[in-house]
Amino acid sequence: MKCVAIDDEPLALEVISKFCRRIGGMEVSVFVDPEKGLHFIQETAPELVFLDIEMENVSGLDIARRLPENTCFIFTTAYLDYALDGFELDAVDYLHKPFPFDRFRAAYEKALRRIAGINLKANAEEYIVVKQEYNNVRIPLADILYIEAMEGYSKIFKVSGGCVVSRILLKKAMDMLPEKGFLRIHRSFVVPTSKIESYSKQSVRLIGGKTLPVGRQYASEIGSNI
């Protein structure tokens, strides 16, 4: 996940960077200059922004109003007075400095859920159709959390909850998916790269906390495809 952090205090940016590394799977760019940070956001469209409110010569509230549409952002500030303003701007969360790692992670997970909802709406017209028993079931691509192979079946788990069980092999299910955006990580699992929160050569953690194993023969492809 690509993130941007804007704060005129370098120490605060160090804390955010450290917490992002601790979570894993987060590529964070930091800025002490709010205008430069905003320009970078407008150019690169990151998925998540951490934004201080009380900065020298500029308010983070003003920066938030100028963010591109659908940008998820979390306010990080030492001042509680701005909480109402922050939520009126539709901030995902409001982190009061100094915040511990657990609180930071909770805000990050709220952002993941918000981002999943935005993607679901944006990709509502992109879907696959599979047969479950005697019914044809349409599943939006953005709603696929992961696909698991069973004996002659595939189980398609959804972000919105539940799963669809279809009498198709995993290879057939993969043929129905776009070439980019989905990755086979094991002989029994296919995952959307956008739903990967963190990964190693042994396992992949998805949004929501689900952890799946990585097969030895697929380990080398993960880093180059995420």
Last residue of a domain, one of 55, 87, 122: 122
| Rounded distance between C-alpha atoms, residue 185 and residue 213, angstroms | 8
Say if residue 116 is in the same domain as residue 22.
yes
pLDDT for 85? 65
| Rounded distance between C-alpha atoms, residue 194 and residue 213, angstroms | 17
Say if residue 100 is in the same domain as residue 14.
yes
Q: What's at 113, amino acid-wise?
A: R
Say if residue 93 is in the same domain as residue 178.
no
pLDDT for 124? 52
Say if residue 74 is in the same domain as residue 35.
yes
Domain of residue 106, CATH code: 3.40.50.2300
Q: What is the CA radius of gyration of the chain?
A: 20
pLDDT for 56? 84
pTM of the model: 0.58
How many domains, in total, are found in the chain? Answer: 2
Say if residue 6 is in the same domain as residue 106.
yes
Listed in sequence order, the residues at least 6 apart from 198 whose beta carbon sits closer than 8 Å to its beta carbon are: 23, 24, 25, 204, 205
Q: Which residues in the chain show pLDDT less than 70?
A: 82-87, 119-125, 223-226
Domain of residue 197, CATH code: 2.40.50.1020
Token pair 């469209």 in the structure block, residue: 45
Listed in sequence order, the residues at least 6 apart from 14 whose beta carbon sits closer than 8 Å to its beta carbon are: none
pLDDT for 215? 92
